Amino acid sequence: MILLLNLEDFKKEKAMSKTIDRNLKVYTSFVTAENMVKLMEQNYLPIFILRSIGKSDTIGKYSNTSIHVKDLSPSDDLFHKKRDNDIDFATFSKQYIEEICTNIKDFHELIKNLCFLARISNAKGIVLMGYGKDYETSHRKVLSDFLNSQNFFDNKITEFNYEEE
C-alpha cells in the first residue's frame, strides 16, 4: 500500500526522522514465509539483515530496498566460517560485531532511519529478520545483544514470540 503524505504531514515526518522512538517495539525473527505472513497481519515491519536475498522466493522482492539492511549481516566469509565450524560462536560474535561497526559508521543514524520507516509504515514495531533456526547461535542474537547494550530503546530486543502477539 502506498502512503501519500500531505505537505504538513511530510514536514512533521521529516522532523521526526531526526529522532529515535525509544518506545518502538523491536524484535528479531527467523525468516519463513509463514512468519512473514504473521508479522504483516500483526502490523510489524520486517527488516532483513541478510547479505543476499535476491534469489529467495519468500523475500527476494525486498532485495536492495530500504528494508534490506545488508550492513547488519555477517560477511559471506564470516558466515561460511561459522557454518563450516571453522570458528566457534564466541569468535564469530566478536568478528561480526567488528564487521558491523566497520560497515556502519553511525548506529544512531541507522536506528533513526529504522524508526522513520516504522512511523511512515504505521507499524507497531520492527522485526530484524535473518536465517538460522537456532536463535542462540544466530547473528540475530548477537545483534540484539549489541543493540541492547547501546540502550537505543526502552524495551529489550528479543526474539519475536508468535504465540504471544
pLDDT at 11: 54
pLDDT at 1: 39
Angle between helices 107-120 and 7-16 (to 10 degrees): 150
Residue type, 114: L
Q: Give tens-digit pLDDT for 24-68.
A: 999 999 999 999 999 989 999 999 999 999 899 889 999 999 999
- 163 band by pLDDT with thresholds 50, 70 and 90: confident
C-alpha distance from residue 143 to each of 6, 97, 116, 131 (Å):
36, 8, 20, 13
Mean pLDDT score of the chain? 89
**Alpha-carbon span 36 to 30, nearest angstrom:** 9
pLDDT above 90 coverage of the chain, percent? 79
Sign of CA dihedral 53, 58, 60, 61: negative
Asked if 129 and 33 touch (Cβ cutoff 8 Å), the reply is no
Q: What is the largest CA-CA distance in the chain?
A: 54
Global pTM?
Answer: 0.87
pLDDT at 161: 86
**Alpha-carbon span 26 to 49, nearest angstrom:** 13
pLDDT above 70 coverage of the chain, percent? 88
